[in-house]
Amino acid sequence: VSDLDPDLLARLPRPAERNVTLRLARGAEGHVRRGHPWVFDRAIEHQSHEGAAGDLAVLFDHKRALLALGLYDPTSPIRVRVLQRKKPVPIDEAFFARALDAAIEQRAPLLGTDTDGYRVVHGENDGLPGLVVDRYADTLVVKLYSLAWFPRLRDVLPPLHARLAPRHVVLRQSRAVQLLTADLYGLEEGQALTQGPLTTPVVFKEEGLRFEADPVRGQKTGFFLDQRENRALVERKAQGRRVLNAFAYSGGFSLYAARGGAVEVVSLDSSGPALAHAARNFELNQDDSRVAACKHELLCEDAFAAFERLAAEGRRFDLVIIDPPAFAKRQEEVGRALASYGRLVRLGLGVLKVGGELVMASCSSRVSVEDLREVTLQQAKAARRALRIELETAHALDHPIGFSEGAYLKCLFASA
Ligand code: SAH
């Protein structure tokens, strides 16, 4: 365990003494009352004064009753992130400690699964909108999606540190926040909040498999922790199979397939460093005889082009996994995203043996499971494949869904 860096904590800004009081347009009140954690700038009808990021926002309804307390952020269109409804309570270290206790308690079942890489706090879904905490063995990654969290870190970090006793705490920021913080508090992306040099990358375990993650430079916070349960399902289908894992990143699905007894796994990604990472992850698990016996092939290529080439070459697989990056971050992009998912299903079926299995994932929060199901069935029909959806999965217990936008991950398991 290393202590939090006291100089750094001392440099953090403090919230103003004066709260920002706000009244919302009538339509927006119900939204908050029903539990939505975001208040957009356009929903604000009146406010006391312009506050600074991280000041306490106090929302009143039209009858002057307290609606909610939240964190104010003048730099974001999500102007207030709601922490507490109706009942006034101090937003202090004890408040955050209670939220952390609830989140940690919810993840307790994971500790029995030989897993020390998981999401400890999943933002709005754990009542802490804009704050993500991931654990990779003895390293914690705190990722901030709003500037409002900086003045609150003083109250969040000590209880977090006390409960999880990490060796390192790494600070990550969303792109929007990074652009604002560089000169604000002298805090850099990927910087340690604990004393002593950071040892990175770190090796952690997921369901007994070893993975390396780079919490400082890796995508997201270093690993796609949200796919753990889908990977475990793939493991159970992999015995004796030839597997194609498209958008493989560091080979999460590939390793599970190998441990499940796949004879061959192809990891396909357009990023060379991601595939080098996947190769290292295979190295880390050579003590498992099934992983050691599995032939692992790396394919560094655009997935769309690779599917067509493989199909033309007559290569076929028993199991095809497609887990692309989010195609639709905004509502306007949904149509195009669905077309891309459809194309991928079509291409995936082109290299899938008859009677094989297709695993199709989407992490676009704007694409519903119904949409994904429909494009999948449509493409199968167009390709004259008798596709049957056998399972639709959603979120694991460390990625709870607390509001509609929280349901971003969906995954179909189909035979075709
Ligand atoms: N399935 C992974 C996570 C995928 S993240 C896991 O379980 O960990 C998305 C990946 O898609 C990234 O590694 C990125 O490099 C890759 N990628 C993005 N566009 C691509 C493309 N057109 N072709 C191939 N790979 C692509």
Pick the residue whose CA is nearest to atom 20 on ligand 1.
270
Pick the residue whose CA is nearest to atom 10 on ligand 1.
247
Centre of ligand 1 to C-alpha 245, Å, is: 10
Which of the listed residues 269, 321, 347 should we mutate to test ligand 1's pocket, taking the one with most ligand atoms within 8 A of CB?
269
> Between these two residues, 1 and 309, which has the higher pLDDT value?
309
What pLDDT is attached to residue 180? 85
Centre of ligand 1 to C-alpha 267, Å, is: 10
Centre of ligand 1 to C-alpha 223, Å, is: 12
CA end-to-end span of the chain:
50
Ligand 1 binding pocket includes 91 (Cβ within 6 Å)? no
Ligand 1 binding pocket includes 325 (Cβ within 6 Å)? yes
**If you compute the radius of gyration of the chain from its CA atoms, what whole number of angstroms results?**
23
What mean pLDDT is predicted for residues 239-262?
98
pLDDT digits (tens, 9 = 90+) for 9-62: 998 999 999 999 999 998 899 999 999 999 999 999 999 999 999 999 999 999
pLDDT digits (tens, 9 = 90+) for 343-387: 999 999 999 999 999 999 999 999 999 999 999 999 999 999 999
> Token digits for 330?
């905004």
- E strands, 247-288, are 264-269
Q: How confident is the model at residue 147 (pLDDT cuts 50, 70, 90)?
A: very high
pLDDT digits (tens, 9 = 90+) for 290-348: 999 999 999 999 999 999 999 999 999 999 999 999 998 888 889 999 999 999 999 99
Ligand 1 binding pocket includes 249 (Cβ within 6 Å)? yes
CA 198 vs CA 191, 215, 273: distances in Å: 9, 10, 21
- E strands, 33-167, are 38-40, 44-47, 56-60, 66-72, 78-85, 117-122, 131-136, 139-144
Parallel/antiparallel/unpaired status of strands 131-136 and 117-122: antiparallel
**Residues 121 and 156: beta-carbon distance below 8 Å:** no
Active site residues: 363
> Between these two residues, 188 and 171, which has the higher pLDDT value?
171
Centre of ligand 1 to C-alpha 323, Å, is: 7
Nearest atom, ligand 1, residue 303 CA: 23
> Rounded to whole angstroms, how far apart are CA atoms 112 and 116?
10
Ligand 1 binding pocket includes 270 (Cβ within 6 Å)? yes
Q: How confident is the model at residue 188 (pLDDT cuts 50, 70, 90)?
A: confident
